[in-house]
Amino acid sequence: MTRHPSPEDLPPPLELECLTVLWRLRAANVKEVREALLPARPLAYTTVMTLLDRLAKRGLVEREKQGRSFRYQPTIEREILQRTAVLQLADRLFDGSFEELRRFLGIDSLPAPLSQPSASRHADNLDAALL
Protein backbone atom coordinates (compact mmCIF):
# COMPACT_ATOMS: atom_id res chain seq x y z
CA MET A 1 0.00 0.00 0.00
CA THR A 2 2.26 2.78 -1.22
CA ARG A 3 0.03 4.58 -3.67
CA HIS A 4 -0.26 8.38 -3.42
CA PRO A 5 -3.69 9.72 -4.40
CA SER A 6 -4.60 12.81 -6.31
CA PRO A 7 -7.49 14.97 -5.10
CA GLU A 8 -9.73 13.29 -7.67
CA ASP A 9 -9.09 9.98 -5.91
CA LEU A 10 -10.86 11.02 -2.73
CA PRO A 11 -13.82 8.65 -2.57
CA PRO A 12 -17.39 9.73 -1.87
CA PRO A 13 -18.87 8.75 1.52
CA LEU A 14 -20.22 5.26 0.69
CA GLU A 15 -17.04 4.25 -1.10
CA LEU A 16 -15.04 5.55 1.85
CA GLU A 17 -17.10 3.37 4.19
CA CYS A 18 -16.21 0.31 2.10
CA LEU A 19 -12.55 1.34 2.06
CA THR A 20 -12.64 1.78 5.83
CA VAL A 21 -13.89 -1.79 6.20
CA LEU A 22 -11.06 -3.01 3.97
CA TRP A 23 -8.47 -1.11 6.04
CA ARG A 24 -9.78 -2.88 9.12
CA LEU A 25 -10.08 -6.36 7.55
CA ARG A 26 -7.02 -5.94 5.27
CA ALA A 27 -8.78 -7.95 2.54
CA ALA A 28 -12.36 -9.09 2.01
CA ASN A 29 -14.91 -10.16 -0.57
CA VAL A 30 -18.17 -8.32 -1.28
CA LYS A 31 -20.13 -10.43 1.18
CA GLU A 32 -17.66 -9.73 4.02
CA VAL A 33 -17.65 -5.99 3.33
CA ARG A 34 -21.47 -5.95 3.18
CA GLU A 35 -21.72 -7.84 6.49
CA ALA A 36 -19.34 -5.39 8.15
CA LEU A 37 -21.45 -2.47 6.90
CA LEU A 38 -24.84 -4.01 7.80
CA PRO A 39 -25.23 -2.69 11.35
CA ALA A 40 -25.02 0.93 10.16
CA ARG A 41 -25.74 0.58 6.43
CA PRO A 42 -28.16 -2.06 5.15
CA LEU A 43 -26.89 -2.00 1.56
CA ALA A 44 -27.73 -4.54 -1.12
CA TYR A 45 -25.01 -6.96 -2.19
CA THR A 46 -25.01 -5.44 -5.68
CA THR A 47 -24.58 -1.94 -4.26
CA VAL A 48 -21.49 -2.98 -2.30
CA MET A 49 -20.18 -4.78 -5.39
CA THR A 50 -20.61 -1.57 -7.43
CA LEU A 51 -18.89 0.53 -4.76
CA LEU A 52 -15.91 -1.84 -4.62
CA ASP A 53 -15.74 -1.88 -8.42
CA ARG A 54 -15.59 1.93 -8.45
CA LEU A 55 -12.78 1.86 -5.88
CA ALA A 56 -10.92 -0.66 -8.06
CA LYS A 57 -11.35 1.51 -11.17
CA ARG A 58 -10.03 4.48 -9.21
CA GLY A 59 -7.03 2.38 -8.14
CA LEU A 60 -7.73 2.63 -4.42
CA VAL A 61 -8.26 -1.13 -4.10
CA GLU A 62 -7.08 -4.12 -6.05
CA ARG A 63 -9.00 -7.29 -6.58
CA GLU A 64 -7.96 -10.85 -7.04
CA LYS A 65 -10.19 -13.62 -8.32
CA GLN A 66 -10.76 -16.34 -5.72
CA GLY A 67 -13.14 -19.03 -6.82
CA ARG A 68 -16.32 -17.41 -8.09
CA SER A 69 -15.76 -14.05 -6.39
CA PHE A 70 -13.16 -11.33 -6.01
CA ARG A 71 -11.15 -10.52 -2.92
CA TYR A 72 -10.44 -6.82 -2.47
CA GLN A 73 -7.62 -5.14 -0.60
CA PRO A 74 -6.63 -1.48 -0.27
CA THR A 75 -3.77 -0.13 -2.35
CA ILE A 76 -3.50 3.03 -0.29
CA GLU A 77 -2.82 3.59 3.38
CA ARG A 78 -5.47 5.34 5.41
CA GLU A 79 -3.01 8.00 6.61
CA ILE A 80 -2.06 8.94 3.05
CA LEU A 81 -5.70 9.40 2.07
CA GLN A 82 -6.30 11.44 5.25
CA ARG A 83 -3.35 13.68 4.43
CA THR A 84 -4.63 14.21 0.89
CA ALA A 85 -8.08 15.12 2.21
CA VAL A 86 -6.64 17.62 4.71
CA LEU A 87 -4.44 19.20 2.04
CA GLN A 88 -7.45 19.49 -0.26
CA LEU A 89 -9.54 21.01 2.54
CA ALA A 90 -6.85 23.60 3.26
CA ASP A 91 -6.46 24.42 -0.43
CA ARG A 92 -10.17 24.73 -1.20
CA LEU A 93 -11.57 26.39 1.91
CA PHE A 94 -8.60 28.19 3.45
CA ASP A 95 -6.66 29.34 0.36
CA GLY A 96 -3.91 26.86 1.17
CA SER A 97 -3.29 28.41 4.58
CA PHE A 98 -2.73 25.86 7.31
CA GLU A 99 -2.58 28.72 9.79
CA GLU A 100 -6.16 29.66 8.89
CA LEU A 101 -7.28 26.03 9.12
CA ARG A 102 -5.60 25.63 12.51
CA ARG A 103 -7.21 28.83 13.74
CA PHE A 104 -10.62 27.67 12.50
CA LEU A 105 -10.21 24.33 14.29
CA GLY A 106 -9.06 26.07 17.45
CA ILE A 107 -5.70 24.32 17.45
CA ASP A 108 -3.36 26.65 19.29
CA SER A 109 -1.01 24.13 20.87
CA LEU A 110 1.02 23.39 17.76
CA PRO A 111 4.43 25.08 17.53
CA ALA A 112 4.53 28.14 15.32
CA PRO A 113 6.07 27.34 11.94
CA LEU A 114 9.63 28.45 11.44
CA SER A 115 10.08 30.85 8.53
CA GLN A 116 8.01 29.40 5.73
CA PRO A 117 8.20 25.63 6.30
CA SER A 118 7.23 23.36 3.46
CA ALA A 119 3.61 22.33 2.93
CA SER A 120 4.50 18.78 3.99
CA ARG A 121 5.67 20.07 7.37
CA HIS A 122 2.39 21.96 7.75
CA ALA A 123 0.56 18.77 6.83
CA ASP A 124 2.56 16.73 9.35
CA ASN A 125 1.78 19.21 12.13
CA LEU A 126 -1.88 19.33 11.21
CA ASP A 127 -2.10 15.54 10.93
CA ALA A 128 -0.59 15.20 14.40
CA ALA A 129 -3.15 17.59 15.81
CA LEU A 130 -6.10 15.98 14.04
CA LEU A 131 -5.13 12.39 14.81
Instruction: Place 3 in a pLDDT band, splitting at 50, 70 and 90.
Output: low
SS3 content of the chain, % helix, strand, coil (to 5): 55, 10, 35
pLDDT in tens, 58-101: 999 999 999 999 999 999 999 999 999 988 988 999 999 988 98
Which residues partner with 66 through β-bridges? Answer: 69
CA distance 9 to 34: 22
Question: Cα dist. 49→27, 30, 74, 101, 126 in Å?
Answer: 14, 6, 15, 36, 35
pLDDT in tens, 105-131: 888 754 443 223 444 545 555 555 554
Q: Which domains does the chain have, with CATH numbers?
A: 7-74 (1.10.10.10), 78-130 (no CATH)
Is 8 or 36 the better-scoring residue by pLDDT? 36
Pairing label, strands 61-66, 69-74: antiparallel
Average pLDDT value for residue range 33-61: 97
pLDDT in the model for residue 110: 47
